[in-house]
Chains A and B, each alone.
Chain A
Amino acid sequence: MSLVAATGLRKDYRQGGDVVAALRDVALAVEEGEFLCVTGPSGSGKSTLLSLLAGLDRPTRGSVTFRGEALETASSGRLAELRRTGMGFVFQDFRLVRHLTARANVRLPLLFAGDGEDRADELLERVGLAARAGHRPHELSRGEMQRVAVARALVHDPAVVFADEPTASLDRANREAVWRLLSELHTERGLTLVVAAHDAEQVPGAARTVRLADGRMVEPLRRGTDG
Chain B
Amino acid sequence: MTGRLGTTFAWAFASVAFHRARSVAAVLLVAVATALVACTLGFQAGFERALDRNVEALGYQVLVTGKGCPHEAATLILRGGSIPMYIQDDVYRHVVAQPEVAESTRFLMQSVPGELPGARQLYVGIDDDFLRLKPGVAFQRGEWFSAETAGEAILGFNVAEFRRLNVGDSIELLGRELTVRGVLDKLGTQDDGTVFLPLAVAQDVFEKPDRLTGIGLRLDDLGEAAGLVDRLYDVPSIQVVRMSQVQSAVLGVLRGMRALFLAFAAVCVALALLGVFGAALLALQERRGELGVLRALGCPGGTLFRLAWCESLVLSLLGAVVGILVAIALRGAAESFVRANLSFVPGGPIVETTPAVLLTSVALVVALCLAAAALPAWRSAAAPPATSMRGAG
Contacts and interface: CB of A to CB of B under 8 A. Distances in A.
Contacts of A91: 293, 386, 389-390, 393
A85 interface: yes
Residue of B3, B389, B390 with most chain A CB atoms under a 10 A cut-off: B389
Given A93-B393, A99-B18, A99-B19, A47 B388 contact: yes
B14 A100 contact: yes
Contacts of A82: 298
A108 to B, nearest CB: 6
Given A80-B300, A80-B385, 8 more contacts: A47-B388, A47-B390, A57-B388, A83-B297, A91-B390, A97-B294, A99-B17, A112-B303
7 contacts: A80-B295, A87-B298, A100-B11, A109-B297, A112-B298, A114-B4, A162-B389
Contacts of A183: none
Nearest to A163: B389
A89 B296 contact: yes
Interface in B350-393: 385-393
A85 B385 CA distance: 16
A81 B298 contact: yes
Nearest to B303: A112
Contacts of B387: 51, 56-57
A56 B386 contact: yes
A109 B298 CA distance: 8
Interface of B: 3-4, 7-8, 10-11, 14-15, 17-19, 289-290, 293-300, 303, 385-393
> Interface range on chain A: under 10, 10 to 19, 20 to 34, or 35 or more?
35 or more
A91 B386 CA distance: 11
Nearest to A48: B388
B389 A92 contact: yes
Contacts of B289: 95
Contacts of A110: 7
Interface in A91-107: 91-93, 95, 97-101, 104, 107
Sort A-B residue pairs by CB-CB distance and give the 3 closest, nearest first: A84-B298, A99-B18, A83-B298
Nearest to A113: B298
A199 B296 CA distance: 26
Contacts of A92: 389-391
A114 to B, nearest CB: 6
A56 to B, nearest CB: 5
A49 to B, nearest CB: 10
A164 B390 contact: yes
Contacts of B303: 111-112
